[in-house]
Amino acid sequence: MAYFDDDERPVSTAGLRAFARKIAKQVEKEEGRTLFPVESAGRSVAKSFWGKAWCRNIESYQDYESRLPRGRSYLKNGTVIDLEIEPGMVTALVVGGELYHVSIAIDPVRPERWEELRRQCAGRIESFVDLVAGKLTEPVIELLCSPETGLFPAPDEIHLNCDCPDWADLCKHLAAVLYGVGVRLDADPELLFILRGVDPSELFGGDLAAALPEESENGLDDLAETFGIELE
Q: What is the pLDDT of residue 41?
A: 76
Q: Mean pLDDT in the chain?
A: 84
Hey, what's the torsion of the CAs at 220, 226, 230, 232, to 10 degrees? 0
Partnered with residue 86 across adjacent β-strands are: 89
Distance CA 145, CA 142 (A): 5
Q: What is the pLDDT of residue 211?
A: 38
- pLDDT, one tens digit per residue, over 182-229 is 999 999 999 999 999 999 999 975 444 443 444 434 444 543 454 444
Listing DSSP states for 192-232 in one string gives HHHHHT--GGGGSS--GGGGS-TT-SSSHHHHHHHHT----
Residue 68 predicted with pLDDT over 70: yes
- 192 contacts 86 by C-beta, under 8 angstroms: no
Percentage of the chain beyond pLDDT 90 is 61
Distance CA 102, CA 160 (A): 8
Average pLDDT over residues 112-116: 95
Range name among 14-23, 122-131, 200-209, 221-230 with the lowest pLDDT average: 221-230
CA distances from 117 to 37, 56, 92, 136, 150 (A): 33, 20, 30, 14, 7
Residue 35, C-beta contacts closer than 8 angstroms, at least 6 positions apart: 24, 27, 28, 81, 82, 93
Distance CA 151, CA 16 (A): 35
- Tell how far CA 50 is from the center of its chain: 8
